Amino acid sequence: MYPDLHMTTDLIRKPRLLLSLALTALLTLPLSLHADSAADQPAQSPHLQGELPLQELRNFTEIFERIRTSYVEEVDDKTLLEYAINGMLTSLDPHSAYLQADAFSDLQENTSGKFGGLGIEVGMEDGLILVVTPIDDTPAEKAGIRAGDLIVSLDGEAVMGMTLSDAVEKMRGAPGTDIELEIRRRNEKELLTFTLTRAEIKVASVRTEMLSGGIGYVRITQFQENTGTELSSAVEDWRDTGNLNGIILDLRNNPGGVLDAAVDVVDSFISQGRIVYTKGRVPSAEMSYSATNHTAAGKTPVVVLINGGSASASEIVAGALQDHQRAVIVGTQSFGKGSVQSVLPITEDSAIKLTTARYFTPNGRSIQAKGITPDIWVEQSEVTPSEQRFYKESDLPGHLSNPNGKAGNQQAATEAPTESKADSMLKKDFQLYEAHTLLRGVTILSPRPES
């Protein structure tokens, strides 16, 4: 039944043949025999229910034995098989991975909002580490790391050839320790060098600020379990004051996070209809989420800010509000991460992270590899006040006085206004400034939005 394999030396004949027989016998069994529960298994196509390709299994066992006997350094069988699993998963797409004990623990820490390291959401691109986004108020963000940067080396060691998990492990470390990153940045001729000091990363999911004109500003840095509750509470507090004329929802450089939190955020702005749905190959990958009747924001006008660092759950929120015509999307094209990863435990301390479905907006648009296109395209730039000086009527000798009191510029000359935190935010952030200007225009035309 199992023909002998081609041999180049008698030295490896017996162990290789035994391994081949074992693997072939195991992998050609019907898949249902390996299941813990038949109900948990997806329906298989006729091709998958049949035998796996014998020639490829022969190739695998041949390569496995060549490495065992001929590689320059000895590698134990357990490590080789882990490498094989890693390679099989990472070759599928940039997000599927084998999570051994440390990586599995890291994933759980990331979704809790507290972990150690530099504060960078990363992926892979052409063998280099891609910075999807730096997280607010972390060593990476404070040092000037930007979304789209490519990490070339870590402490002088080239990342080319590293797996993503290896690179992440190297960037993690005890708080207070330093690491040097070499970065390739678009439009920069030379590599940039950054020395970052590791810290315990505590991500505050929701930050709020009341801007001028009754415009509420909500910054979501990452979607965590309580994000939706925190946002709803802030919006309801503003509405209780009776002075909420608009909301800016800032999702820039937000790498995503917990799907249920993204659904809760959208539910704070709409009262009916679908929010997001997924499509996969198996029934368990088919999901659909819809809004509930409770809507914290009522019909308050909303602007959503996005950019190239807005990914995954951020894109779900922006896409849903755009499809429902509930918000104006302002900024630049989002990242385009529209796939669903399921964490499937293998043992008590290991799992695989496997891409099992794609996200779709309520109108059926796929986010994957495309992202969300803003309604109003606004590039980020510096806000620089003009130095021009204009003479006014009040500067002219012998001008008529204002019967209502002193001229406005006379008061301004004697009293310099104190700049608030909100004013400072608007002066430093052009995209936020444009979003605020848009909502102020709506407020002027309709100062009391319907609730």
Residue 100: pLDDT band with limits 50, 70, 90: confident
Residue 133: pLDDT band with limits 50, 70, 90: confident
What tens digit of pLDDT does each residue of 24-76 get?
444 444 333 333 333 344 445 444 455 789 999 999 999 999 999 999 999 99
Helix ranges restricted to H, 50-182: 54-70, 77-90, 101-112, 139-143, 164-171
The catalytic residue positions are: 312, 323, 337
| Strand 328-331 versus strand 302-306 pairing type | parallel
Q: CB neighbours (10 Å) of residue 141?
A: 18
What tens digit of pLDDT does each residue of 171-181 get?
988 889 999 99
What pLDDT does residue 18 have? 44
At how many degrees (to 10) do helices 164-171 and 101-112 cross?
70
Sign, CA dihedral 138-144-146-152, equals negative
- Tally of residues, the chain: 451
Domains of the chain: 10-75 (no CATH), 114-202 (2.30.42.10), 206-377 (3.90.226.10)
Q: Is this model's pTM higher than 0.85 or not?
A: no
pLDDT at 197 over 50: yes
Q: Which residue has the higher pLDDT, 134 or 244?
A: 244
What pLDDT does residue 101 have? 75
pLDDT at 407 over 70: no
**Spatial separation of the C-alpha atoms in residues 434 and 431, rounded to whole Å:** 5
Q: Cα-flanking dihedrals φ and ψ of residue 275, to 5°?
A: -100, -50
